């Protein structure tokens, strides 16, 4: 039997109906649908599904983000067109099975014993031999031999001019045709299971039961019933977040326009969440000890849920999906960076926010994340390397610090650098900048620094500002130096002290000139004096942003006021003066804090080297202060996936049939054998044998040679 790519032809008066049925039941239509499903699956794999729309805007841009959204590419597997294709594939494949199954079943009973002798001579595998036994005896012997080898045999006698001839028709490997039915049935079962366990039932309830997605906020208990699905919902797959020590019984189904709430017939209490980590900082094991309380019977059942080891109750499976922060309490210390701000402490809960106000400036502090473990790669970090502060290329300085805090590309040397806090500062216009600050300092390139990260959008990597620590391993020394830089009186005192220490006694005119240069350099660095940057005006607005201060202000001043031939020498002198005045400014700030002066040693030089770069970078820090994590109370939460999947067993059955079908079609060879025995003389006969197979392989050649030897007694 050969399988046709044509569809089922029915007799009907309507040509359109007949052609539609033929198309739906044709193999070419099924293959086309499978191709489209494969392409859609690739799209669903490449494009992250069910992400916030803003993430897609950042990735593809506003235009293409809207185009892809209109095609439901952000939720491919629940898109109406994908479900429709699955439904068509079920219909098409079912019709293919209905069209070919009767032929296959009928073919099981057919031995094709009526084949003519002349036809046997046209087969590639054929042989002839004279036998020293009668045709009937030879037929019985050959038939018994084939039966013993697992062949199914049928004998047919025919009248010939020379007497009674016998046809031996045998076949084996008929299970190959079962593979066709099994494989196609598997496709139908898998698609039906996918439709049952997919979003089809939920969509049907939104279409016919008046359910709609919820887009508001507030408590779950206050959400109206039109946004809730009944606990008797036959199929769903939702997420359930449970904080340690709390109970939850309402799961959330993400929808393109909001969420639907799925009520469960039981509650889940998280007694304890357990997480273990690899040396890389990746989770090795996370598990949840839970108590399930049935609402109908009041029964309580303890269970442990791990990855790939779900718990089950009343036909609903509870899978360990991930974990999250359950509302940890954090205490933050506000540290002023680029504006005079009074330090203060503030407490909050991860997921909540606090309002900050300083006169007309209002900000909202959003506590977005707490990580208690941060494993970073410190391979290739040179512990003795320093930074040349005379280099005034701010772009290189900033770009060298982009990305993660360790910035290495060599083999891994992993180290846990402790907790970190992530928060957002949102202004009155609703614009937010995200910050990521480590709680503890770390050693990077020979300097011990705090890392303060920031990024403007979630698609960007964090850029880190490095703050050097003082002799007490804190950033207080740097903060005092930054505040002193904004104080004109302290700057003036530092300039005088630098001039006195740098000029010999008896040369007041040189001291005056040095004080003027030092005052100008420190004022430029502090942003107290304009750098005279030339900013072209286009349509009434400048094309370049103003230079606020730092090394870039000094560089701009040199570019605008010093000839290029003398610029390198002038920059060396000016930076040397700047370093000296900043050191004296540091000593003045310590004196005001009743601290002893610092000695001129390698540790002090290392601090000043990093401090000059960090002071310069603070002028580009978008917030007036940074928030350091001082203390926290960690609360874990477990994220479960709860699923009622009636199609799961159907899919398993389909997978089993698919394995059986593919094995049968690939590894089971159907063979048919005919032996025509014509009487030639008394107690002798002439045998003509032919073998056919659905695949031409070397095994068929060897098998035919063996059959010739066994049946016709022909030497191999």
Identify the band that residue 294 occupies on the pLDDT scale cut at 50, 70 and 90. Answer: very high
Average pLDDT, the chain: 84
Closest CA to 234 of 649, 645, 653: 645
Give the integer Cα–Cα distance in Å for 27 and 262. 40
Identify the band that residue 250 occupies on the pLDDT scale cut at 50, 70 and 90. Answer: very high
The Cβ of residue 510 has, within 10 Å, a number of other Cβ atoms equal to 13
Tens digits of residue pLDDT in 213-241: 888 877 888 888 899 998 888 888 899 99
Give yes or no for a contact between 68 and 47, defined as CB atoms under 8 angstroms apart. yes
Helix (H, G, I), strand (E, B) or coil at 376: strand
pLDDT of residue 394: 42
Give the integer Cα–Cα distance in Å for 386 and 405. 17
pLDDT of residue 323: 84
Q: What is the CA radius of gyration of the chain?
A: 41
- DSSP string covering 412-478, please? --EEE---EEEEEEE-TTS-EEEEEEESS-EEETTEEEEEEEEESSTTSPPEEEEEE--TTSSSHHH
- DSSP string covering 599-639, please? PSSHHHHHHHHHHHHHHHHHTT-SSSEEEEEEEEE--EEEE
Residues 6+ apart with CB under 8 A from 351: 325, 327, 367, 368
Give yes or no for a contact between 679 and 136, defined as CB atoms under 8 angstroms apart. no
Run of H or E residues at 645: none
Q: Is the pLDDT of residue 298 over 60?
A: yes
Q: Is the pLDDT of residue 637 over 60?
A: yes
Q: Is the pLDDT of residue 349 over 90?
A: yes
Give yes or no for a contact between 178 and 185, defined as CB atoms under 8 angstroms apart. no
Run of H or E residues at 525: helix 508-526
Q: What count of residues does the chain have?
A: 716
pLDDT of residue 391: 38
Closest CA to 124 of 553, 704, 583: 704
Tens digits of residue pLDDT in 43-76: 888 888 777 777 788 888 888 888 988 888 888 8
Identify the band that residue 11 occupies on the pLDDT scale cut at 50, 70 and 90. Answer: low
pTM metric for this prediction: 0.64
Identify the band that residue 682 occupies on the pLDDT scale cut at 50, 70 and 90. Answer: confident
pLDDT of residue 587: 92
Give the integer Cα–Cα distance in Å for 82 and 141. 60
* Dihedral pair phi/psi, residue 556, rounded to 5°: -65, -40
Pairing of strands 258-277, 228-229: parallel
Tens digits of residue pLDDT in 485-521: 999 999 999 989 888 887 776 577 787 888 888 888 8
530 vs 48: which has the higher pLDDT: 48
The Cβ of residue 443 has, within 10 Å, a number of other Cβ atoms equal to 14
Identify the band that residue 545 occupies on the pLDDT scale cut at 50, 70 and 90. Answer: low
* Dihedral pair phi/psi, residue 250, rounded to 5°: -130, 120
Picking from 17-31, 390-404, 454-468, 547-561, which range would have the lowest pLDDT averaged per residue?
390-404
Run of H or E residues at 50: none
């Amino acid at each position: 039997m050969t399988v046709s790519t044509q569809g089922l032809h029915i007799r009907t008066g309507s040509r359109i109906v007949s052609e539609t049925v033929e198309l739906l039941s044709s193999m070419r239509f099924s293959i086309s649908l499978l191709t489209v499903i494969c392409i859609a699956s690739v799209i669903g794999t490449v494009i992250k599904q069910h992400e916030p729309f803003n993430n897609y805007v950042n990735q593809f841009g506003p235009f293409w983000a809207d185009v892809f959204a209109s095609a439901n590419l952000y939720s491919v597997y629940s898109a109406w067109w994908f479900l429709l294709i699955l439904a068509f594939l079920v219909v098409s494949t079912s019709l293919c099975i209905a069209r070919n199954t009767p032929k296959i079943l009928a073919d099981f009973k057919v031995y094709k014993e009526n084949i003519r002798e002349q036809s046997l001579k046209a087969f590639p595998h054929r042989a002839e031999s004279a036998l020293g036994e009668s045709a009937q005896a030879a037929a019985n012997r050959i038939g018994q031999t084939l039966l013993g080898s697992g062949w199914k045999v049928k004998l047919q006698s025919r009248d010939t001019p020379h007497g009674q001839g016998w046809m031996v028709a045998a076949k084996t490997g008929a299970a190959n045709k079962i593979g066709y039915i099994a494989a196609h049935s598997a496709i139908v079962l898998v698609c039906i299971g996918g439709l049952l366990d997919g979003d089809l039932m939920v969509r049907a309830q939104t279409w016919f039961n008046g359910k709609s997605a919820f887009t508001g906020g507030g408590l779950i208990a206050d959400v109206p019933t039109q946004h809730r699905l009944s606990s008797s919902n036959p199929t769903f797959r939702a997420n359930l977040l449970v904080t340690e020590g709390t109970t939850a019984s309402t799961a959330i189904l993400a929808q393109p326009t909001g969420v639907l709430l799925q009520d469960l017939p039981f509650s889940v209490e998280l007694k304890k969440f357990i997480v273990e980590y690899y040396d890389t900082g990746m989770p090795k094991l996370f598990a949840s000890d839970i108590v399930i309380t049935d609402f109908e019977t009041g029964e309580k059942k303890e269970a442990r849920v791990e990855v790939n080891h779900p718990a089950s109750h009343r036909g609903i499976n509870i899978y360990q999906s991930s974990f999250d922060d359950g509302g940890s309490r954090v205490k933050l210390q506000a540290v002023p960076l680029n504006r005079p701000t009074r330090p203060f402490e503030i407490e909050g809960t991860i997921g909540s926010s606090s309002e900050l106000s300083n006169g007309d400036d209002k900000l909202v502090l959003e506590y977005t994340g707490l990580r208690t473990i941060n494993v970073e790669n410190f391979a290739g970090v040179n512990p003795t390397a320093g930074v040349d502060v005379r280099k005034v290329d701010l772009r290189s300085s900033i770009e060298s610090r982009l990305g993660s805090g360790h910035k290495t590309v060599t083999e891994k040397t992993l180290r846990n650098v402790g907790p970190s806090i992530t928060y957002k500062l949102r202004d009155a216009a609703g614009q937010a900048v995200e910050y990521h600050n480590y709680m503890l300092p770390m050693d990077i390139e020979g300097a011990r620094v705090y890392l303060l990260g920031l990024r403007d959008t979630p698609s960007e990597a964090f850029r880190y500002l490095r703050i050097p620590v003082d002799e007490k391993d804190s950033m207080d020394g740097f903060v005092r130096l930054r505040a002193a830089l904004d104080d004109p009186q302290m700057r003036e005192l530092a300039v005088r002290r630098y001039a006195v220490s740098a000029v010999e006694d008896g040369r007041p005119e040189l001291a005056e000139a040095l004080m003027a240069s030092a005052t100008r350099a420190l004022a430029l660095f502090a942003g107290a004096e304009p750098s005279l940057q030339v900013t072209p005006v286009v349509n009434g607005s400048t094309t370049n942003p103003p230079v606020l201060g730092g090394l870039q202000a000094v560089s701009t001043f040199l570019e605008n006021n010093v000839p290029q031939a003398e610029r390198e020498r002038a920059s060396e002198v000016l930076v040397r003066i700047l370093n000296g005045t900043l050191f004296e400014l540091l000593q003045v700030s310590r004196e005001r804090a009743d601290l002893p002066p610092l000695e001129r040693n390698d540790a002090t030089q290392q601090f000043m080297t990093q401090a000059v770069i960090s002071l310069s970078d603070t002028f580009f820090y978008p917030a007036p202060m940074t928030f350091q994590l001082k203390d926290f109370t960690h609360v874990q939460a477990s994220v479960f996936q709860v699923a009622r999947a009636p199609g799961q067993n159907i899919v398993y059955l389909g997978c089993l049939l698919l394995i059986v079908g593919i094995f049968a079609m690939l590894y089971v060879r159907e063979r048919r054998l005919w032996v025509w025995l014509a009487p030639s003389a008394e107690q002798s006969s002439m045998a003509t044998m032919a073998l056919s197979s659905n695949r031409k392989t070397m095994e068929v050649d060897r098998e035919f040679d063996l059959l010739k030897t066994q049946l016709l007694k022909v030497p191999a």
